[in-house]
């Protein structure tokens, strides 16, 4: 497969909205619904909405977008989404791994969570995760800012096959601080975003 060259200035970041749904859907469809057909719904949906079928998850995600209950920063190249970073309030994104431990050690409930980062296979290893994560922080700033948490993998520099939420070093690189471990391979990272 030919690698895509991305020149600075070619990319834009746009919020996930009904107007950008087709670009988001195109990226998910190019990757079989992402992570086994999840369509980036796992962290959002309530048990009654959960499904293991990609088509059903697509329908749920589209409904949540149209209801204003699904937020993400989309990295756009031309007309095509090439990466995203899902974010939202804890009410919007209630499902996080190691939730029992997280609740027991809770010191601050964040205003926003970052729960999923995904990059088109043609654009990987080019800094797209950082662009998407910074884009999410910019959109949070436009929405009034606040305390933002992420739960990346603390992989100590080791290569990991599937990283649904990036790495500790990615989050540190965009200004998050390490707070504490979460589970055996993840951690809580936090930053405060000023409103713009």
CATH code, domain carrying 107: 3.40.630.30
Residues 6+ apart with CB under 8 A from 43: 86, 93, 94, 95, 96, 113, 115, 116
| 2 is a domain residue | no
Q: Could you give the number of structural domains in the chain?
A: 1
Reported residue count of the chain is 196
Cα dist from 28 to 24, 31, 146, 156, whole Å: 6, 5, 29, 29
Residues 6+ apart with CB under 8 A from 99: none
Q: What is the pLDDT of residue 161?
A: 58
Tell me how far apart the alpha carbons of residues 149 and 83 are, in angstroms, rounded to a whole number. 20
pLDDT tens digit at each of 196 positions of the chain: 333 444 545 899 999 999 999 999 999 999 999 988 999 998 987 656 667 788 899 999 999 999 999 999 999 999 999 999 999 999 999 999 999 999 999 999 999 999 999 999 999 999 999 999 999 999 999 999 999 999 999 977 666 655 678 999 999 999 999 999 999 889 999 999 999 9
Q: What is the pLDDT of residue 26?
A: 97
| 5 is a domain residue | no
* Residue-range definition of the domain harbouring residue 104: 11-193
| 1 is a domain residue | no
Q: Whole-prediction pTM value? A: 0.91
């Amino acid at each position: 497969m030919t690698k895509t060259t991305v020149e600075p200035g070619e990319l834009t970041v746009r919020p996930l909205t009904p107007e950008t749904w087709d670009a988001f859907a195109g990226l998910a469809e190019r990757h079989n619904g992402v992570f086994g057909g999840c369509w980036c719904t796992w962290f959002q949906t309530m048990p009654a909405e959960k499904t293991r079928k990609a088509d059903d998850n697509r329908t749920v995600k589209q409904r949540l977008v149209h209801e204003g209950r699904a937020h993400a920063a989309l990295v756009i190249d031309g007309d095509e989404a090439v990466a995203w970073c899902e974010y939202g309030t804890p009410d919007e994104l209630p499902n996080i791994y190691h939730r029992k431990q997280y609740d027991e050690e809770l010191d601050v409930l964040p205003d926003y969570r970052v729960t999923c980062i995904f990059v088109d296979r043609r654009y990987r290893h080019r800094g797209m995760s950082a662009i998407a994560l910074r884009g999410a922080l910019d959109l949070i700033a436009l929405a009034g800012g606040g305390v933002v948490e992420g739960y990346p993998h603390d992989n100590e520099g080791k290569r990991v096959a599937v990283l649904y939420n990036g790495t500790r070093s990615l989050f540190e690189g965009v200004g998050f601080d390490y707070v504490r471990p979460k589970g055996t391979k993840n951690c809580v990272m936090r930053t405060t975003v000023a409103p713009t």
